[in-house]
Structure 1
Amino acid sequence: MQKQKAEPEGAAERRVRITDDAALTLEAYADSIVPGEKRWPGDRAVAGAAEGGGAVTAGALQLLRWDATGIHDDLENLADLANDHARAYAQDAGLPPDPSVPPFVALSYEDRVALIRTLTAPGHPEKEFWVLLSLFCNMAFDSAAHLHTAEAIAAGHPGLRAMGITAPDDDGLWRFEDFGYGRELAPLHPATTAGGSPA
């Protein structure tokens, strides 16, 4: 395993720009998938439904905006659609409107989750969009796909820390004292390179 940069080369330049309202909405969605604690007292996107960092702190918005996901160009539309659904949900539930934030952000954590359950339920005509968005939000937390693993660990990435992923050795490589099957399955080929690839 070779050392890499903090994120895939050129990823920052390939991130789509989105409006503040879309960013807030997508962060609120991500926080509903893997909840975390508020980043500051007045944080509206993160509901504060769990302790520690959740999907938002793990970089869900950064990952979603990266063109490698394939949904980066549709983020504004997805945010608008989430807000349309939230507006209808609030109206049906008799919830008072809050014009200071987008409709999805205005929902409580419990209402956000209830709405997402509806959107991702079997038979919902938009299910595939919302399931895909949910998977990417979860991916930011459980694999930090948009970051170099060693640097994400060093920075205290909440998902990798929660799963107990250990830091690499000083040279940036992971080594394990114990073999996964309790024994060495085969001797190392003499032509194996220092990076672990065959010559």
Structure 2
Amino acid sequence: MLWAGEPVSPAPLDRRGLFKALAATAVFMAAGPLTPLPAEATSALGNWNTQTLEAFADTLIPGQRRYTGDLPIAGAVTGPGAVQAGAIQVLTSPQLPLAPWLAGIAGLLDARALAWAATHLLLLPPTWPAFVGLPFSHRTALVTGLFDPDDPDRPIWQVMALLVGLAFDAAGHQTTTTALANGHPGLAWIGFPAPDADGLWRFPQHSYNRPLADLHPRTTASGSPE
């Protein structure tokens, strides 16, 4: 195996601190739209780490390449994926306590990729992070194993996967109305409906084609019980 490039993990991760950050992140995820950092601020993560995290997001929700030679996105499918939908913007949101740990998480993922490449006799390109250099089928197999119940770092990958899904399925770094107005690729791809003219969503077609219950006479105008 041949590989050269930036160090994969300059120091061991403080897993106790990271797991605390993951728990706090899970709480913040329910608080509403996240505030994305400006592009120049997200660059502090570094291209190397950003590419690794992009490749991880693209493995979970693949998309088409943004340009020729776009190796972090494997181009396994046509149409937008998690990266185009803002996965990095969600992961680096200053509201999440996860941001300081992202470089370490990327390094951990690259270390896993190096071990994978060694055991599968794969040659990795020297100018890209190890995980980015893996063929898509191997990325997928590696990431599948990260969620094994016996994997000690499983909570890391579970929260990361939730955030990637939040970017694509819910445009977690924008309000829904803003995301739809801007043509968010994830919401467009899943066919999320536009609001009514007043900006509110109403669903006259019930999932069972009938109301599940009559409105209680003491329900307030806001929909709460009196």
TM over 0.5: yes
Q: Contact 1:192–1:198 (CA<8 Å) still a contact in 2?
A: no
SS state at 2:193 partner: coil
Tell me which of 134, 157, 162 is aligned to 1:130: 157
- Report what 2:214 is aligned to: 185
SS of 1:46's equivalent in the other structure is: coil
Alignment correspondent of 2:8: none
**Residue 185 to residue 162, structure 1, CA distance change in 2 (3 Å):** farther
Structure 1 segments of 4+ aligned residues over 6 angstroms from their partners: 187-191, 196-199
Superposition RMSD on alpha carbons, in Å? 2.6
Matching residue's letter, 1:76: A
The equivalent of 1:44 in structure 2 is 71
Distance 2:112 2:156 in 1: 13
Q: Scaled by the length of structure 1, what TM-score is found? A: 0.83
CA distance in 2, matches of 1:85, 1:60: 21
Residue type at the aligned position of 1:99:
P
Q: Cα distance 1:122–1:179, how it changes in 2: closer, same or farther (>3 A)?
A: closer
1:4 corresponding residue in structure 2 = none
How far 1:159 sits from its partner (Å)? 2.1
1:105 aligns to what?
Answer: 132
User: AA paired with 1:174?
Assistant: W
CA distance in 1, matches of 2:219, 2:155: 48
Q: Which residue of 2 aligns with 1:12?
A: 37
Query: CA shift at 1:145, angstroms?
Result: 1.5
Aligned length: 190
1:70 aligns with 2:97: yes
Measured in 1, the distance between the counterparts of 2:148 and 2:110 equals: 18
Q: 1:190 to 1:113 in 2, by over 3 A?
A: closer
Please say which of residues 124-133 and 54-63 is displaced more in the overlay: 124-133
Structure 2 gaps of 5+ residues are 1-31
User: Are the counterparts in 1 of residues 80 and 189 from structure 2 also a CA contact under 8 Å?
Assistant: no
The unaligned stretches of length 5 or more in structure 1 are: 1-6
Using the TM superposition, give the Cα deviation of residue 188 of structure 1 relative to its aligned residue in structure 2, in angstroms: 8.4
Aligned equivalents of 2:147, 2:35: Cα separation in 1: 33
**1:87 aligned partner:** 114
Question: Could you give the per-residue CA deviations for residues 37-65 of structure 1, whole angstroms, max 9, x where no partner exists?
Answer: 11111111100111100111110000000
Q: Please name the residue that 2:171 is paired with.
A: 144
C-alpha distance in 2, partners of 1:159/1:97? 31
Of residues 104, 124, 142, the one that matches 1:115 is 142
Q: Percent identity?
A: 37
